[in-house]
Chain A
Amino acid sequence: MGYNCVVLVKQVPDTKRITGQAMNEDGTVNRGALPAIFNPEDLNALELALEIKDRFGGTVTVVTMGLPAAATILRESLYRGADKAVLITDRGCAASDTLATSYIISCAVKKMDYDVVLCGRQAIDGDTAQVGPQLAEKLGIPQVTYIEELIDIKDGALTAKRNIGNGWQEVKAALPVLGTVIEEANYPRVGVGRKMMKYKKAMSPIEVAAQIAADNADASDDEKAKLAEAKCNSLKEKGLLIEQWDLDFLQADRQWCGRDGSPTKVHRIMSVVLEAKDSKEVQPDQGGIESMIHELIVEHTIG
Chain B
Amino acid sequence: MIEVNKQGEVWVFAEQHASALEDVPVELLSKGRELADELGVKLGAVLIGDGVSGLCEMLGQYGADKVYLTENPHLEHYQTNTYTKVICQLIEEHKPQIVLYGATACGRDLAPRVASAAKAGLTADCTDLQIGHHEVKKTNTTYEKLLLQIRPAFGGNIIATIINYDRWPQMATVREGVMPMPEPNVANKAEVVKGDISISIDDMAIEILKEHRQKRKVNLKAARVIVAGGAGVGSKDNFKLIWDLAHCLGASPGATRAASDLGFIDGDHQIGQTGTTVRPSLYIAAGISGAIQHMAGMSDSKKIIAINNDPDAPIFGIAHYKIVGDLNVVIPMMINAIKEKV
CB distance from A152 to the nearest CB of B (A): 11
B158 touches A29 (CB 8 A): yes
Which segment of A70-78, A135-143, A203-211, A236-244 sits at the interface? A135-143
* In the complex, chain A residues whose CB is within 8 Å of the CB of B304: 276
Bound Cα distance from A156 to B206, whole angstroms:
13
Residue A297 at the B interface, CB < 8 A? yes
Residue A193 at the B interface, CB < 8 A? no
Cβ-defined partner of A143 (8 Å) among B109, B152, B215, B281:
B109
CB distance from A158 to the nearest CB of B (A): 10
- Which residue on A lies nearest to B104, using beta carbons? A165
CB distance from A203 to the nearest CB of B (A): 30
Question: Mostly helix, strand, loop or mixed at chain B's interface?
Answer: mixed
Residue A41 at the B interface, CB < 8 A? no
B337 touches A171 (CB 8 A): no
Residue A32 at the B interface, CB < 8 A? no
B319 touches A271 (CB 8 A): no
* In the complex, chain B residues whose CB is within 8 Å of the CB of A97: 121
Contact A267-B162, Cβ < 8 Å, known A102-B116, A134-B115, A302-B225: yes
Bound Cα distance from A167 to B340, whole angstroms:
42
A167 touches B212 (CB 8 A): yes
A264 touches B122 (CB 8 A): yes
Interface residues on B, range: 35 or more
* In the complex, chain B residues whose CB is within 8 Å of the CB of A172: 206-207, 209
A297 touches B341 (CB 8 A): yes
B317 touches A267 (CB 8 A): no
B303 touches A296 (CB 8 A): yes
Residue A168 at the B interface, CB < 8 A? yes
Contact A267-B163, Cβ < 8 Å, known A15-B154, A172-B206: yes
Residue A258 at the B interface, CB < 8 A? no
* In the complex, chain A residues whose CB is within 8 Å of the CB of B94: none
* In the complex, chain A residues whose CB is within 8 Å of the CB of B333: 284-286, 289
Bound Cα distance from A277 to B302, whole angstroms:
11
Residue B155 at the A interface, CB < 8 A? yes
* In the complex, chain A residues whose CB is within 8 Å of the CB of B305: 282, 292
* In the complex, chain B residues whose CB is within 8 Å of the CB of A264: 121-123, 149, 162-164
Residue A265 at the B interface, CB < 8 A? yes
* In the complex, chain A residues whose CB is within 8 Å of the CB of B181: none
CB distance from B95 to the nearest CB of A (A): 15
CB distance from B135 to the nearest CB of A (A): 9
Bound Cα distance from A277 to B303, whole angstroms:
10
A302 touches B154 (CB 8 A): no
Contact A99-B319, Cβ < 8 Å, known A15-B155, A267-B148, A301-B282: no
Cβ-defined partner of B323 (8 Å) among A275, A284, A286:
A284
Bound Cα distance from A29 to B156, whole angstroms:
11
* In the complex, chain B residues whose CB is within 8 Å of the CB of A276: 304, 317-320
Q: Tell me which of B154, B281, B316 has the highest count of chain A C-beta atoms within 10 A of its own C-beta.
A: B154
B122 touches A130 (CB 8 A): yes
Which segment of A52-60, A82-90, A121-129 sits at the interface? A121-129
Contact A280-B322, Cβ < 8 Å, known A29-B158, A127-B124, A159-B209: yes
Residue B117 at the A interface, CB < 8 A? yes
Bound Cα distance from A102 to B116, whole angstroms:
8
Bound Cα distance from A265 to B161, whole angstroms:
9
Report B98-118 residues with CB < 8 Å from chain A CB. 104-106, 108-109, 111-113, 115-117
* In the complex, chain B residues whose CB is within 8 Å of the CB of A302: 225, 249, 282, 338, 342
B162 touches A18 (CB 8 A): no
Bound Cα distance from A275 to B299, whole angstroms:
9
Bound Cα distance from A131 to B1, whole angstroms:
18
Contact A171-B206, Cβ < 8 Å, known A137-B117, A279-B322, A289-B333: yes
CB distance from A98 to the nearest CB of B (A): 7
B162 touches A272 (CB 8 A): no
B155 touches A16 (CB 8 A): yes
Residue B189 at the A interface, CB < 8 A? no
- Which residue on A lies nearest to B309, using beta carbons? A284
Bound Cα distance from A281 to B112, whole angstroms:
47
Residue A1 at the B interface, CB < 8 A? no
Cβ-defined partner of A134 (8 Å) among B116, B123, B282:
B116
Residue B201 at the A interface, CB < 8 A? no
B113 touches A143 (CB 8 A): yes
Cβ-defined partner of B105 (8 Å) among A135, A163, A269:
A163
* In the complex, chain B residues whose CB is within 8 Å of the CB of A171: 206-209
| Residues 139-176 of chain A, each 1 if its beta carbon lies under 8 Å from chain B, else 0 | 00011111000000000000100011111111111100
* In the complex, chain B residues whose CB is within 8 Å of the CB of A163: 105
Cβ-defined partner of B157 (8 Å) among A126, A262, A266, A272:
A272
Residue B197 at the A interface, CB < 8 A? no
Q: Tell me which of B116, B216, B293, B303 has the highest count of chain A C-beta atoms within 10 A of its own C-beta.
A: B116
Bound Cα distance from A31 to B307, whole angstroms:
31
Which segment of B6-14, B32-40, B324-332 sits at the interface? B324-332
A303 touches B321 (CB 8 A): no
Cβ-defined partner of A168 (8 Å) among B81, B123, B212:
B212
Residue A223 at the B interface, CB < 8 A? no
B154 touches A280 (CB 8 A): no
Q: Tell me which of A170, A282, A288 has the highest count of chain B C-beta atoms within 10 A of its own C-beta.
A: A282
Cβ-defined partner of A274 (8 Å) among B104, B209, B318:
B318
Residue A270 at the B interface, CB < 8 A? yes
- Which residue on A lies nearest to B159, using beta carbons? A270
B157 touches A29 (CB 8 A): yes
Contact A301-B155, Cβ < 8 Å, known A128-B125, A267-B162: no
* 4 smallest beta-carbon distances between A and B, as pairs: A284-B325, A15-B155, A263-B121, A142-B205
